[in-house]
């Protein structure tokens, strides 16, 4: 029994450790939709947030309250009014919003105060601090429609928020803001979370929502749903938005995506849209390589791109030392030159410090990731992982179901990232014929996520 436990627990723990390490000290803004709370997800989300915070992440939590406000309005016999996709906050709606926010704040603070008995966080204390960190301004009158007490974010109190986060407390924000004259404005959760993420230059903006994520290509030719895009480059996200309103995307998905794009363009490297329907969704997205839901990422920041003929010199300079010490198998220069388009590279100010190539075997629906290398000066900062993701994306775009590597020294790096060892006979026949028996490389395969 304990042997089985060791076999499952130890590798699992080791696979998670790099992510714990990577996220320590980072700032995440997490927005939980009112729908998630309505669906009874608050206790499990609170538990997971407490755990994430205990692993050194600074968290600003923003709650939504659309269904709760509508419920209050219904109880008062009032119909919610919207225009331009925004709520019109008249005096009744403002009362309802204040009541709903008060109630939800109370529930969230209570959930974090339970000492979390019988949970993985038993005995932990999570201090939650709310306050008037958002200055708002009125939406005003749009096309003749007076939005009354609906507002927009005017300013975020960054020094105030930073002070609290540095104290080790979690910040809790409601979608409310006040004008300098003390007037209250009803804001959207999405705008508050996005503005705070931008103002703090957070490392992540995360929406926990009723939608599963984004499908850039909604259906395959047979009419089946395509998988969710686990990673959506910013340019692709902008292209999708430009096509809006798309009949294949529920309006809410577009709304979340708009905010992710805004955050990404303003310097928040990663924005996520996650489904609350999946238990443990925050843990799965943050601490597992493939994640769940959609992550919008600004790849320009990373200078991760496909290689061209100008990169040949840089690629050679990078891989040569590893060919010499036997870590990488030596490739003919003419071969690399011919196949330079198969390479993806990370460059910084014109210097290439990471690369890998994808050689596809379309008839076997697999591809080899070759020559994965990160410059010794920048190893250990996640670049190897970024290149791996890029190669996975390229493989998916070519309709491949898996990628494989042959390695003599780097087996554990790949095992930690979802590869499994297979016999040499697994390789496509054409690749088997080229297998160098003397090198005795191990073959590792990773199935690509096709959820
Ligand atoms: C393997 C390689 C590409 C990883 O690049 P990287 O940018 O350092 O990778 P990441 O930052 O994403 O991951 C770093 C982690 O991998 C670990 N790691 C690095 N080399 C490893 C190896 N050979 N075996 C197991 N783990 C390794 C590091 O210790 C680090 O772990 P930590 O975060 O717990 O400290 C890089 O080490 C490299 O270029 N190695 C030489 C070439 C090579 O072996 N290529 C593979 C050919 S098949």
Question: CA-based angle 196:197:198, to the nearest 5?
Answer: 90
322 in ligand 1 pocket by Cβ < 6 Å? Answer: yes
Assigned token pair, 146:
């007076």
Residue of 320, 323, 384 with the most ligand 1 atoms within 8 Å of its CB, for mutation: 384
- Write the residue with the smallest CA distance to atom 31 of ligand 1: 380
pLDDT at 226: 74
Q: Kindly report the pTM of this predicted structure.
A: 0.67
For tokens 């990663």, the residue is 270
Can you tell me the distance from the alpha carbon of 26 to that of 193, in angstroms, rounded to the nearest whole number? 16
**Ligand 1 atom 44: the closest Cα is on which residue?**
410
298-318: pLDDT as tens digits: 866 558 899 999 999 999 999
Of 30-44, 87-101, 255-269, 279-293, minimum mean pLDDT range: 279-293
Q: Establish whether residue 408 lines the binding site of ligand 1, counting it when its CB lies within 6 angstroms of any ligand atom.
A: no
Quickly list DSSP for 64-129.
--HHHHHHHHHHTT----EETTEE-B-HHHHHHHHHHHHHHHHHHHHHHHS--TTSTTTT----EE
List domains and CATH numbers for the chain.
Answer: 2-301 (3.40.1160.10), 304-447 (3.40.630.30)
**How do the residues of the chain divide into helix, strand and coil, expressed in percent and rounded to 5?**
40, 25, 35
**pLDDT reading at 198 higher than 90:** yes
The per-residue pLDDT for 250 is 42
For the chain, percent of residues with pLDDT exceeding 70: 91
What digits encode the pLDDT tens for the residues 136-172? 999 999 889 999 999 999 999 999 999 999 999 999 9
Residue 114: partners with Cβ closer than 8 Å, 6 or more residues away: none
CA distance 9 to 5: 6
Ligand 1 atom nearest to 407, measured from its CA: 48
Residue 297, exposed/middle/buried by CB under 10 A (0-12, 13-18, 19+)? buried
Of 229 and 316, the one with more pLDDT? 316
Cβ atoms of 68 and 100 within 8 Å: the answer is yes
């Amino acid at each position: 029994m304990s042997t089985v436990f060791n076999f499952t627990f130890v590798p699992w723990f080791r696979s998670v450790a790099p992510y714990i390490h990577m996220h320590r000290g980072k700032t995440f803004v997490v927005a939980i939709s009112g729908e998630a709370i309505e669906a009874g997800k608050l206790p499990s989300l609170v538990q997971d947030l407490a755990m994430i915070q205990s692993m050194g992440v600074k968290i600003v939590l923003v709650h939504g309250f659309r269904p709760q406000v509508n419920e209050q309005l219904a109880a008062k016999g009032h119909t919610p009014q919207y225009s331009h996709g925004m709520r019109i906050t008249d005096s009744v709606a403002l009362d309802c919003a204040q009541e709903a926010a008060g109630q939800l704040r109370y529930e969230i603070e209570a959930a974090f105060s339970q000492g979390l008995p019988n949970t993985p966080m038993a005995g932990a204390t999570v201090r939650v601090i709310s306050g008037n960190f958002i200055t708002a301004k009125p939406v005003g009158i749009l096309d003749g429609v007076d939005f009354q007490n609906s507002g927009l974010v005017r300013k975020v109190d960054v020094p105030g928020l930073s002070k609290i986060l540095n104290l080790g407390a979690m910040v809790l924000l409601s979608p409310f803001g006040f004008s300098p004259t003390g007037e209250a404005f009803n804001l959207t959760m999405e705008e508050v979370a996005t503005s705070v993420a931008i103002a703090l230059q957070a490392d992540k903006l995360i929406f926990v929502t009723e939608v599963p994520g984004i499908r850039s290509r909604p259906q395959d030719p047979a009419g089946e749903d395509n998988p969710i895009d686990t990673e959506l480059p910013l340019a692709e996200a902008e292209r999708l938005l430009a096509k809006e309103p798309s009949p294949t995307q529920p309006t809410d998905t577009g709304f979340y995506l708009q905010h992710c794009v805004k955050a990404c363009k303003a310097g928040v490297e990663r924005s996520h849209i996650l489904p609350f329907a999946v238990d443990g969704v925050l843990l799965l997205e943050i601490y597992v390589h493939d994640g769940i839901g959609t992550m919008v990422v600004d790849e320009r920041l990373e200078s991760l791109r496909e290689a061209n003929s100008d990169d040949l010199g840089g690629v050679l300079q990078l891989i040569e030392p590893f060919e010499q010490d036997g870590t990488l198998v030596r490739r003919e220069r003419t071969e690399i030159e011919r196949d330079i388009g198969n390479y993806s590279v990370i460059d910084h100010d014109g210097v290439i410090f990471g690369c890998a190539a994808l050689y596809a075997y379309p008839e076997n629906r697999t591809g080899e990731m070759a020559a994965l290398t990160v410059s010794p000066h920048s190893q250990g900062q996640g670049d190897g992982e970024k290149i791996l993701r890029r190669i996975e994306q390229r493989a998916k775009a070519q309709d491949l179901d898996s990628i494989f590597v042959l390695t003599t020294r780097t087996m554990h790096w790949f095992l930690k990232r979802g590869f499994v060892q297979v016999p040499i006979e697994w390789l496509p026949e054409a690749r088997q014929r080229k297998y160098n028996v003397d090198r005795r490389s191990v073959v590792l395969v990773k199935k690509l996520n096709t959820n």
